[in-house]
Amino acid sequence: MKIIMLGAPGAGKGTQAKMIAEKYQIPHVSTGDIFRANIKNGTELGMEAKKYMDQGLLVPDELTVKILLDRVAQEDCKNGYVLDGFPRTIPQAEVLDKALTELGEKIDYAINVDVPDENIVKRMSGRRACLSCGATYHIEHIPPRQEGVCDGCGQSLVLRDDDKPETVQNRLKVYHDQTQPLIDFYTAKGVLRTVDGTVDMKDVFEAIVSILS
């Protein structure tokens, strides 16, 4: 079962990807993680990617797909995998599609976790982080015992720049411009399934499981 997770930043697709991976005993493949692993292990592909990253450039789609295919060719992916964070654009989807077709494989499901923009802005601007120990909270859903103070180490909690409403709105604009067309791409392939991401996390997961079953 080869699955792609789609959804705006803050829609909760990463959390759902981990839960799917755990339930179906398939790897959760995040492009960020595999880049880091290749660079850390000094692989040829990792060193090539590092050249771009060190210059602050985006890693070209062809190289990203090579690194991804190298990962999903490993033994633990033989029963499938959940892709998280890739593809982000139509060209990436096309390169991936072509590469999988050449291997006689294809994506089985593209799961779109659908959350309206205003919910995402509210959700992310409510996040608070402890820069000292890395703990994260939410002022509504997971509040600290004392407002503005980390339960674990007692340091002050902050609203990260990434989670500020204006930053979130910019990220959503990029998402709609680049990634939204993927919904049409996978709809045309007949593999897109959409779930309501505004309900409780467990209910989102149940909806996904009923699709995959």
88 belongs to the catalytic site: yes
Q: Kindly give, in sequence order, each residue whose CB lies less than 8 Å from that of residue 32, ignoring residues fewer than 6 positions away.
A: 85
Active-site annotation holder among 66, 71, 123, 127: 127
Residue 151 phi, psi (nearest 5): -60, -40
Active-site annotation holder among 51, 160, 173, 189: 160
pLDDT of residue 54: 86
CATH of 2-212, one of 3.20.20.70, 3.20.20.150, 1.10.275.10, 3.40.50.300: 3.40.50.300
Q: Are 111 and 3 spatial neighbours (Cβ–Cβ below 8 Å)?
A: yes
Average pLDDT, the chain: 92
171 belongs to the catalytic site: yes
| 204 three-state secondary structure | helix
Residue 96: Cβ within 10 Å count:
20
127 belongs to the catalytic site: yes
193 belongs to the catalytic site: no
| 155 three-state secondary structure | coil
pLDDT of residue 188: 96
pLDDT of residue 18: 93
Active-site annotation holder among 18, 50, 171, 193: 171
pLDDT of residue 58: 80
Residue showing tokens 């990260």:
160
Q: What does the alpha-carbon distance between residue 50 and residue 55 come to, in Å, rounded to a whole number?
A: 9
Residues in the chain: 213
Active-site annotation holder among 13, 71, 123, 128: 13
Angle at 111 between CA 122 and CA 82, to 5 degrees: 105
pLDDT of residue 47: 94
122 belongs to the catalytic site: no
Domain ranges in the chain are 2-212
Given a cut of 70, the residues of the chain with pLDDT beneath it are none
Active-site annotation holder among 18, 88, 164, 193: 88
